[in-house]
Structure 1
Amino acid sequence: MKVLITGGAGFIGSNLSKHFLDSNQFETVRVVDDLSTGSRKNLTGLDVEFIEGSILDKSILTHAMEEIDSVVHLGAIPSVPRSIAHPVRSHDANSTGTLMVLEAARAQEVEQVIVASSSSVYGSNPKLPKHEDDWTRPMSPYAVSKLATEGYALAYQAAYGLKTLAFRFFNVYGPGQAADHDYAAVIPKFIDAALTGRSAQIYGDGTQSRDFTYVDTVCQVITEAVLNKRYSNAPMNLAFNTNTTLLELLDEIENILGQKVERQHREPRRGDVKASQADSTSVSQMFPNVRPTKLSDGLTETISWFKKELVTRKGLENG
């Protein structure tokens, strides 16, 4: 089987590349990435075919899709705050980019396309847990672009018979997730602050909650979906019905590290939802063999990775 991962040099994409290769069931793992948010370093030691280029470039996509059986479309400009700062750029990469990927897949007669949507599409809907049939009310340009992402995927299934599956990701975390930029996710930011003796920055009072999902669990689900050519005519939550506040998250990090982490509260950010928790009925029914990783176990693995990275970083600075 030959698979293409767009955005494969990013955090989730590079973990997925490794997962595919470790399964020994893929003849080819091809990656296309413009390295705007990903890094070649993430693919070090992985036997992937790498194509540097944008998903907005038709010629790049045409080349990347050659002889491909399935596409996992992760290429996007992530982050709610980043989309608020640069809404047109977010739309172009996420909405138009998805349309370009789907059209290239259709032209090359690719059998299956899996796309990454986001829990942010639920927006101001207060219901918990959030089911795929619940109404959506985006609060940021990023959320709008992800609603378009899944909408295009489902439309291509209905209009052209393309096997598509739109996963709504919920705060994916794990080894390889960068903490060294303004739009970094909360878990790497908290861990990096704790390990370097800085205060953890909390936007708001810290009672906002998330359904944190370990990256290895996400990769297991996607791998099974590709190998079995899964598809659905509705979007699917890819999270497992957990609800953790930021204060509880910091408590867990402190417990694992055996040390206190200083906390600094700042003004809430525009576009951030108050609470997020997935109804996991659909994903559990389609992928009954996947057992989600407990937050404490996932954080332990992630902290271990960050400690090694910190040692490497200090070695380079001293060398």
Structure 2
Amino acid sequence: MGYENLKFPEGSLFLVTGSAGFIGSNLVEAILKLGYKVRGLDNLSTGKKANVEEFLGNANYEFIEGDIRNFETCLKACDGVDFVLNQAAWGSVPRSITMPLLYEEINVKGTLNMMEAARQSGVKKFVYASSSSVYGDEPNLPKKEGREGNVLSPYSLTKKVNEEYGRLYANLYGLDTYGLRYFNVFGRRQNPNGAYAAVIPKFISQLINGEQPTINGDGKQSRDFTYIDNVIEANLKACNASHEAAGQAYNIAFGGREFLIDIYTQLAYALGKDIPPIFGPDRAGDIKHSNADISKAKKLLGYDPYWSFEKGIEAAIEWYSENLKSKEESKQV
């Protein structure tokens, strides 16, 4: 379903930065299942060791606790690596508005450290996480590469700068870089807790616990919610992409559009809960609507997402229901 039959040279070594995070840990798991070697790098500032503990006994997996803000750490992590999947970054638009200096340091300087370390180490492909937030205030749907507006937050700006460095490193130094503009990724291992938790796991967690969730705004904002396995496919297919496709950014989504209030209603029904949401103020820096044109990724990366929103949300509900219940039950033992 998307990436299970992909082949890479025997003995290939992948570096996944942010490997203890939501997307990173899922990439580690997928690559190990394909039979290739993985080195993980994470400073555990937002990632959790629990996300990768199950891989520590695997002979093909190595974990480095370190920070992409340290260039020597980046060089060490890139030593002997064929493919870099750079997921290390701080997310959240609202948090970036309160902490712009830290976002510059981690998301811009850290990513540049990784690109330079990859260049010096002879890495074949450098795939990095960008974001749909780079479209900013551009109102047209669907969102299409090359038609961007003014960014609305420091987080969005850091991703835009990442893409410019990716373009330069491909054009000036010949490093094959591929920017993946993720559209509202969701799925297993996504953290449901905290003020800046993603909306789907937070809703599921709160509903399971009988809490009343808050929807920012009127609930009529729409997003192209993208299941995690589509993102894994995009990362791995970028590692097989042509040199001609390098130095560019690509929309990574399913190409659908879901309204927040509809998602909440669907989750409440699936979980057997009758809890009306609270409607709060709009979040600063948020865009109202998001929907991706994925034709460029299909054409140049061979991206062909299998997981629709409906399939993905069913899998996510099942995973969170099992894992959140098991945690609650473990507290009672």
TM-score under structure 2 length normalisation: 0.92
Alignment pair present for 1:253 and 2:264: no
After superposition, the C-alpha distances for 1:135-190 in whole angstroms (9 at most, x for unaligned) are: 23110000000111111111100110101101100000001001111110111111
> Does 2:173 align with 1:160?
yes
Aligned mate of 2:16, from 5, 10, 30: 5
Alignment correspondent of 1:293: 307
The residue number in structure 2 matching 1:205 is 218
Q: Name whichever of 223-232 and 1-10 sits farther off.
A: 223-232
Q: Is 1:18 paired with 2:32?
A: no
Aligned mate of 1:43, from 39, 52, 59? 52
**Residues 141-220 of structure 1 aligned to structure 2 (within 5 Å):** 141-220=154-233
Residues 1:182 and 1:289: Cα distance change in structure 2 (over 3 Å) = closer
- TM superposition shift of 1:229: 6.0
SS at match of 2:284: coil
Q: Which residue of 1 aligns with 2:79?
A: 66
- Sort the Cα spacing of 1:216 and 1:261 in 2 relative to 1 into closer, same or farther, 3 A: farther
In 1, distance between residues paired with 2:153 and 2:89? 15
CA contact (8 A) 1:208 1:274 kept: yes
- Name the CA distance, whole Å, in 1 between partners of 2:272 and 2:137: 36
Give distance in 2, aligned partners of 1:45 and 1:71.
22
Structure 2 residue identity aligned to 1:223: L
Contact 2:254 2:305 in 1 (8 A): no
Tell me how far 1:227 sits from its aligned partner: 4.1
Give the aligned residue type for 1:213: T
Q: Counterpart amino acid of 1:166?
A: G
Q: How many residues align?
A: 317
What is the CA RMSD across the aligned residues, in angstroms? Answer: 1.4
Q: Partner letter of residue 268 of structure 2?
A: E
Aligned to 1:111: 124
Q: Which residue of structure 2 lines up, in the alignment, with residue 124 of structure 1? A: 137
In structure 2, what is the equivalent of residue 31 of structure 1? 40
What residue in structure 2 maps to residue 92 of structure 1? 105
Match of 2:39, SS? strand
Of 138-147 and 293-302, the range deviating more from structure 2:
293-302
Identity of aligned residues (%): 37
Amino acid at match of 2:253: A
1:115-135 CA distances to partner (integer Å, 9 max, x unpaired)? 110000111111100100102
Shift of the alpha carbon at 1:18? Answer: 0.6
SS at match of 2:111: helix
Note if 1:312 corresponds to 2:323: no
Cα distance, 1:289–1:125 mapped onto 2, change above 3 Å: closer
1-structure distance, mates of 2:144, 2:63? 37
Q: Which one-letter code corresponds to 2:144 in the other structure?
A: H
Maintained 8 Å contact 1:116/1:150: no
Residues 252 and 296 of structure 1 are in contact (CA less than 8 Å); yes or no, is this contact kept in structure 2? no
Unpaired runs of 5+ residues, structure 1, are none
1:202-241 superposed matches below 5 A: 202-228=215-241, 231-241=245-255
Find the residue that maps to 1:45 and give its secondary structure.
helix
SS where residue 279 of structure 2 aligns? Answer: strand
Give me the whole-angstrom Cα distance separating, in 2, the residues matched to 1:292 and 1:311.
28
- Contact kept, 8 Å, 1:10 with 1:42, in 2: the verdict is yes
SS at match of 2:231: helix
Deviation at 1:315, TM superposition (A): 2.6
Which amino acid is the alignment partner of residue 324 of structure 2?
A: L
Alpha-carbon contact 2:136-2:156 (below 8 Å) kept? yes
Partner of residue 258, structure 2? 244
